[in-house]
């Protein structure tokens, strides 16, 4: 895809991001949410993520096409080097390479933060139906993620049971020196200027990890 700009999400993007996300809630089992979050709730989610991790949008000529973000994998300190990643694209934007662009940008920023592993939590069905297929699993496989856990029949939506899988990608090889002796994970605000020098704050304030 050409003329794609990937940048940090802003509050002004919330209506566009909700427009991307709403069909996944209302029409699919990709999201296990039953109701589309309000703009206020979505704003709170954005603030929680951006307190420490990147939340990116992809736009073309000012139109938001999709977004991706990382969030804390688990609150206990030993998990600091792992994150959960999520991605949502507009229905008409899938299959055009946009997801790869977003994930590659996100993963580069996570590596700069000293994150070592990324995990994706994905709804799963043995038999695809009108609400869920295997597209997300196939996408993550192409991006180098591998199955690490399966939870059958753990989510009930549209009168049916769906499972969930975790998929993992090592952002840094397990035997690399930075994996064996990991440096502390830094807030995204500490590395943001490497990726977005034009709009980085002149004196970025350190953010506390959620």
Res 203 pLDDT > 60: no
Does residue 56 contact residue 35 with C-beta atoms inside 8 Å? no
**Gap between the Cα atoms of 116 and 54, Å rounded:** 15
Chain segment 53-97, per-residue pLDDT in tens: 999 999 999 999 999 999 999 999 999 999 999 999 998 888 789
Chain segment 110-119, per-residue pLDDT in tens: 999 999 999 9
C-alpha distance from residue 146 to each of 37, 117, 138, 168, 174 (Å): 30, 12, 10, 5, 14
Residue 208's pLDDT band (boundaries 50, 70, 90)? very low
Res 145 pLDDT > 50: yes
Task: State the pLDDT at residue 199.
Answer: 66
Res 205 pLDDT > 60: no
Per DSSP, the chain holds a count of helices (H) and strands (E) of: 6, 7
Query: What's the sign of the alpha-carbon dihedral 43, 48, 32, 56?
Result: positive
Taken in order of first residue, the domains within the chain and their CATH numbers are: 4-191 (3.40.630.30)
pTM greater than 0.85: yes
Residue whose C-alpha is closest to residue 67's, from 110, 31, 101, 28: 101
């Amino acid at each position: 895809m050409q003329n794609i700009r990937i940048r940090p999400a802003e509050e002004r993007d919330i209506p566009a991001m909700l427009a991307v996300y709403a069909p996944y809630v209302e029409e699919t089992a990709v999201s296990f949410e039953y109701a589309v979050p309000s703009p206020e709730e979505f704003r709170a989610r954005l603030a929680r993520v951006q307190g420490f991790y990147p939340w990116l949008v992809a736009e073309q000529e000012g139109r938001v096409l999709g977004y991706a973000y990382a969030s804390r994998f688990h609150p206990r300190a030993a998990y600091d080097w792992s994150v959960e990643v999520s991605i949502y694209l507009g229905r008409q934007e899938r299959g055009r390479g946009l997801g790869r662009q977003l994930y590659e940008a996100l993963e580069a920023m996570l590596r700069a933060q000293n994150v070592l592993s990324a995990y994706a939590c994905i709804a799963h069905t043995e038999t695809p139906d009108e609400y869920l297929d295997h597209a997300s699993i196939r996408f993550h496989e192409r991006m180098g993620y591998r199955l690490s856990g399966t939870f059958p029949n753990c989510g009930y939506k549209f009168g049916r049971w769906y499972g969930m899988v975790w998929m993992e990608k090592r952002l840094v090889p397990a035997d690399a020196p930075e994996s064996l002796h990991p440096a502390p994970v830094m807030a995204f605000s500490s590395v943001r200027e490497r990726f977005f020098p034009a709009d980085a704050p002149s004196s970025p304030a350190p953010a506390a990890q959620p």
